[in-house]
Amino acid sequence: MRLPIIAGNWKMHKTVRESVDFARQLMIAYAESPDRRVIVAPPFTSIYAVAAVLMGSGIHVAAQNLHDKQAGAFTGEISAAMLVDAGCEYAIVGHSERRALFGERDDVINRKLRAAISFDLRPIFCIGETLDEREAGRTFTVVERQIKEGLNNFTADDIKPIVIAYEPVWAIGTGRTATPEQAQEVHAYIRAVMGKIYGDSLAGLLHVIYGGSVNPGTIGGLMAQPDIDGALVGGASLDVESFVKIIQF
């Protein structure tokens, strides 16, 4: 049994005050429930304040990115150790916006995943194809490459804390959600690839969540699919009411 995970990726939104207000309202609107795991990923500047508000609430905090080194002369970067210190339990790694806008390649993502797990920061490892890749029939090839290169040299123990987020790039921020069947097809493939590498029993425990224009109207259909274990939500996670509706799918 895989506990559903609903994670909100705030991207570059919300000041500290707005983030804290959101966290307080979320705690009021959502009573902790043992049958799902809720995560919010504020911008770096709000992590400490949000984690302090949410402490003991059963709602978890994620970072949206991290650097792969522990410390050093890396102006503008944040390490896994710093994120844990600030109150994070999770970190989004390899989001398509990081890949496309900031040039993060699979080898960089591999190092970031390694850094995260070394500090007990659970990675939310994002993979997904672009529209061109889907239209060229390359979806499976692309996600398989992203998995194999991202998890290069990872043992079965290493992958246990990892959550995989399948986020087709063409569905992110576009209002164009993959149909539940389209998403399920890729989620099943991801689980099969992980099964081939790490064995079916471990792959059966792995969380594979979906992201890309998820909203209160689409979450139910997605969650009804056997291999969809939750959602990584962008735009619709910025508003407490819509985020809570998604949590309570």
Name the residues annotated as catalytic. 95, 167
* Dihedral Cα 168, 169, 173, 179, nearest 10 deg: -30
The tokens for 82 are 């710093």
CB 2 within 8 A of CB 207: yes
Q: How far is the CB of 205 from ligand PGA (least distance, A)?
A: 23
Quickly tell me which residue has 């040299």 as its tokens: 153
CA nearest neighbour of 90 among 65, 61, 114: 61
Q: Which residue number places its CB atom closest to ligand PGA?
A: 234
The verdict on 172 binding ligand PGA (CB under 6 A) reads yes
The verdict on 233 binding ligand PGA (CB under 6 A) reads yes
Number of residues lying near ligand PGA (CB under 6 A): 13
The verdict on 66 binding ligand PGA (CB under 6 A) reads no
Nearer to ligand PGA, 41 or 147 (CB): 41
Q: How far is the CB of 199 from ligand PGA (least distance, A)?
A: 29
Pairing of β 163-166 and β 207-211? parallel
Q: How far is the CB of 234 from ligand PGA (least distance, A)?
A: 2
Range list of H helices, 94-239: 96-102, 106-118, 131-135, 139-150, 156-159, 180-198, 200-205, 219-223
Segment near ligand PGA (CB under 6 A), from 48-56, 70-78, 142-150, 208-216? 208-216
Residue type, 163: V
The verdict on 213 binding ligand PGA (CB under 6 A) reads yes
Q: How far is the CB of 92 from ligand PGA (least distance, A)?
A: 8
82 CA to centre of own chain: 19
Interacting residues toward ligand PGA by CB under 6 A? 9, 167, 172-173, 211-214, 232-236
